[in-house]
Amino acid sequence: MRADARKNYSHILAVARDVVAEHGADASMRDIARRAGVGLATLLRHFPTREALFEALLRTNLDALTEKAGELETSSSPDEALVSWFREMVAFVQSYSGVVALMASAHEDPDSALYATCAAVHSAGARLLLRAQTEGTARADLDGVELFGLMSALGWLVGQPGFAPREDHLFHVMTSAILTNRPCTDIKKAA
């Protein structure tokens, strides 16, 4: 990519990050182009679909969460690693309104621009869950897809004004339901 095209790409992405933070996943592509000072055709040349734009926006964060899961696998006890990663995923889901629906549909669609990134983060969570299950500290009847569902649901729920003040309590209730033989007070320490 030429230097000027790379600069345009980076600028559009920075503006898109701001617009999506303000308006969520339903942000207008036209609004992003307008605020970036480029034509819609220029935006679409870099990001031919909404999913391609979101893949570029989310890739850095999701790659970091996948990497974090790998670090936690070797540096923390299985239950603490799972709780810590779960908390970071919930925080990520809250960062962009509507991102849960995009990730959930992309996970099932190999043709989606988001598929590979979402599959990697799902796999990372499933590994952490399996590690905790192997140690006997997580429910055996839960799989990685269900873990993602619980994390997504909690991230969406605490993003609602009426539930935001209860975020910590809901987090502890959810993680104590995932983990076995562990009182809620121990979970608070791990988080």
For the segment 59-110, what is each residue's pLDDT rounded down to a tens digit? Answer: 888 899 999 999 999 988 999 999 999 999 988 888 777 777 778 778 788 8
The domain tally of the chain equals 2
Residues 137 and 185 in one domain: yes
Contacts of 35-39 with CB under 8 Å at 24 or more apart are 36/11, 36/12, 38/8, 38/12
Shared domain check, 105 and 43: no
C-beta of residue 85 within 8 angstroms of C-beta of residue 128: yes
pLDDT at 178: 94
- Residue 71's domain comprises 49-190
d(CA 176, CA 174): 5
Instruction: Give the predicted TM-score (pTM) of the model.
Output: 0.79
